[in-house]
Amino acid sequence: MCGIVGYNGTMQAAPILLEGLEKLEYRGYDSSGLAIRDGAKDIEIVKAKGRLRVLAEKTDEGMALAGNCGIGHTRWATHGEPSETNAHPHVSEDRNVVGVHNGIIENYQELKEKLQRHDYTFYSETDTEIAIKLIDYYMKKYREGPVDSIARAMTRIRGSYALVVMFKDYPDEIYCARKDSPLIVGVTEDASFAASDVPAILKYTRNVYYIGNQQIARLGKGTAEFFDIDREAVEIEPSEIKWDAEAAEKGGFEHFMIKEIHEQPAAVRDTIGSLVQDGKIVYGESGLTDEIIRNTSEILIVACGSAYHVGLAAQYVFEGLARIPVRVELASEFRYRNPILNQNDLVVVISQSGETADSLAALRLAKESGIRTLGIINVVGSSIAREADHVFYTLAGPEIAVATTKAYSAQLIVAYALAIQYAYVRGQIDEDRYTAMIAEIQTLPAKMERVLDDKERIQWFAAKYSNAKDMFFIGRGIDYAISMEGSLKMKEISYVHSEAYAAGELKHGTISLVENGTLVVGVCTQNRLFEKTRSNMVEVKSRGAYLMGLTSYGNYSIEDTADFTVYVPKTDEYFMTSLAIIPLQLLGYYLSVARGLNVDKPRNLAKSVTVE
Ligand code: M6R
């Protein structure tokens, strides 16, 4: 996720772009850049590492760059660490094409090799530079104009992109193209704008054009024309934005958390896109190899909070599929326990921020003991990402709400992919099962969207029980791991005392806490364990509990026991966490809203815990 702004008009472009980028900083903030042109003069490019403020200061709030046409970008790194070199805009060697990009180009390696065969060289680690040079390549090869060259590049690029591009020989125009990444266009009497999101241009216009998937736009000074990938002109009707500026920043949602809950299918889709190519799991730039996988004797997953809960779910998947022993450890405990580590162990550290102090210390402890480490990280260039021997990135984009949702979901995907790969390479599953499981993972984003469609029922339930004082989440196996995360969501944003219990443990103590009206959520997504957990639900019901059941479609007999039931689509049971967690995130969210709490910034909590 990155933020893009383009301006072509009669005013000075740089201050307008900086102001627009500031409104998009929630989309990325590790580096930024501007490309400004003054008529036919050469395009000036300025980039800076760090927050947007650094770029603003470097350009004297934009006053140092003269010109009334330009593009700007604020970056959230996916390919290549945050640096001035990797910051956008990117440019072809002769500065014929200059552009900014948001999205992930999946076949960047293949495209890079193609361009290298035609003597292109590369200065950055980004997939964006490849896209820009591909457009340049087609422009020179076919001697056609911008729309044709962009369209040709689009037919070769796989993945998602929002591209905003300027061409040396077309000084009064900006070009845009998009597929599966947001990009809007706004037009006033004498100017046109492009942006990743509405807040960037709301000051200038409320009438926006949503560029369709695989469409191209040509922006003049106060004009916009649209084309499809076959280069045919298309008509797009403008839409009026009715949100105020604050709502616009959250895409019309009331809070970042609910926005991020809705971004989960996209985060999962992007993460799958980075891990799966031609139906196979790829190691990418992680440096992991089949040999390392074959030689691993034990996996230790070390993390904190929700990332630890990903580890708990992953343990079932790894052990079940790959038949390799897995230990899951709280990083804050692991580092002080003098843990027993063996030479062929693999220590997997999961972290959204990549900066959590305990997780970082655990990673260092493993490294000092000479143990191989692997990070599953959301922030490119963060400390854990830099120090781990191998890194797989989650492509969730920046997460603003303190309660994690989309990063958690993206972490699960990396864990599934690694477990499947371990199982396959170690001969525990055959090629058919391997292919089928990868195909099933790819169905998850659509299934997650179906779960989200049912959110009103959970909103109603949460409003009804907003006065709850104690809550229990129970489940067995993977359902226990789901319960742990559901319970944490409830505690951290709704301040409801809540506990997750392995359903079979209830009668060893906890059941004495259940009394009339106690809210209990029974998670039953695993067929083998369904009847067992259901009997535990009956036990708490007979002691007065009010029961919410969470299971998959088809298991309708749960209604004989539960007072309120939520169903999620069926998937391979190893991947159920990805679907079943969404109703529990929604439950925590709506309960917090109903109690009038600060959902995005709950008391006493920070997004990144960089102290012990
Ligand atoms: O950045 P990390 O993933 O390392 O953070 C770990 C935990 O602090 C984090 O998951 C925390 O539990 C969240 N607030 C949960 O929503």
Closest CA to 448 of 255, 274, 264: 264
Positive/negative CA dihedral, 94, 97, 98, 104: negative
pLDDT of residue 588: 97
Task: Report yes or no on 603 lying in a domain.
Answer: no
Q: What's 325's domain CATH number?
A: 3.40.50.10490
pLDDT in tens, 48-100: 999 899 999 999 999 999 999 999 999 988 778 889 999 999 999 999 999 99
List the beta strands (DSSP E) in 362-488.
Answer: 372-377, 390-393, 470-475
For residue 352, how far is its CA from the centre of ligand 1 (angstroms)? 7
How would you classify the pairing of strands 192-195 and 3-8? antiparallel
Nearest CA to ligand 1 atom 11: 305
- The per-residue pLDDT for 612 is 66
- Find residue 5's DSSP bridge partners: 72, 195
Task: Give yes or no: residues 423 and 485 share one domain.
Answer: no
Residue 561 within any structural domain of the chain: yes
Ligand 1 contact via 394 beta carbon (within 6 Å): no
Q: What pLDDT score was predicted for residue 512?
A: 85
Q: Which domain holds residue 224?
A: 3-241
438 and 485 belong to one structural domain:
no
Q: And the tokens for 318?
A: 């790894």
Angle, helices 576-594/478-494, rounded to nearest 10 degrees: 20
Buried b or exposed e, range 329-339, using 16+ CB within 10 angstroms: bbbbebbeeeb
Same-domain pairing of 231 and 347? no
Q: What is the pTM of this model?
A: 0.79
For ligand 1, atom 14, name the residue with the nearest CA: 403
Atom number, ligand 1, closest to the C-alpha of residue 489: 16
pLDDT at residue 446 in the model: 98
Q: In the listed set 442, 474, 490, which residue is the last one of a domain according to the structure? A: 442
pLDDT at 180: 83
Would 400 be classed as within a structural domain?
A: yes
The alpha carbon of 140 and the centre of ligand 1 are apart by a number of angstroms equal to 49
Classify residue 285 as exposed, middle or buried by CB count within 10 Å of its CB (0-12, 13-18, 19+).
middle
Ligand 1 atom 8 nearest Cα: 305
**Residue 611 is assigned to a structural domain of this protein:** no
User: Which domain CATH number covers 233?
Assistant: 3.60.20.10
Task: Based on the fold, state whether residues 196 and 263 are members of the same structural domain.
Answer: no
Q: Does 305 lie in the same domain as 222?
A: no
Number of domains in the chain: 3
Domain end, chosen from 442, 465, 494, is at 442
- Let me know whether 273 and 191 are in one domain: no
Question: Between vectors from CA 90 to CA 248 and to CA 288, what angle results, nearest 5°?
Answer: 90
My answer on whether 83 and 150 are in the same domain is yes
Same domain? For 218 and 334 the reply is no
pLDDT value of residue 11: 96
> Has residue 83 been placed in a domain?
yes
Distance between Cα 342 and ligand 1 center (Å): 28
Closest alpha carbon to 367 in 387, 393, 338, 381 = 387
Q: Is residue 303 part of a domain?
A: yes
Is 277 touching ligand 1 by the criterion CB < 6 Å? no
Q: Tell me the pLDDT tens digit for each residue of 457-511.
A: 999 999 999 998 899 999 999 999 999 999 999 999 999 999 999 999 888 988 8
In a domain, 268, yes or no: yes
Tell me the catalytic residues: 2, 607
- Whether ligand 1 lies within 6 angstroms of the CB of 487 is answered as no
DSSP code for 556: G
Q: Are residues 230 and 256 in the same domain?
A: no
In a domain, 448, yes or no: no
Q: Which residues face 326 on adjacent strands?
A: 299
Minimal CA–CA distance to 578: which of 457, 431, 411?
411
Say yes or no: 84 and 204 in one domain.
yes
Pick the last residue of a domain from 191, 223, 241. Answer: 241
160 and 202 fall within a common domain: yes
Q: Tell me the Cα Rg of the chain.
A: 25
The segments of the chain whose pLDDT lies below 70 read: 245-248, 610-612
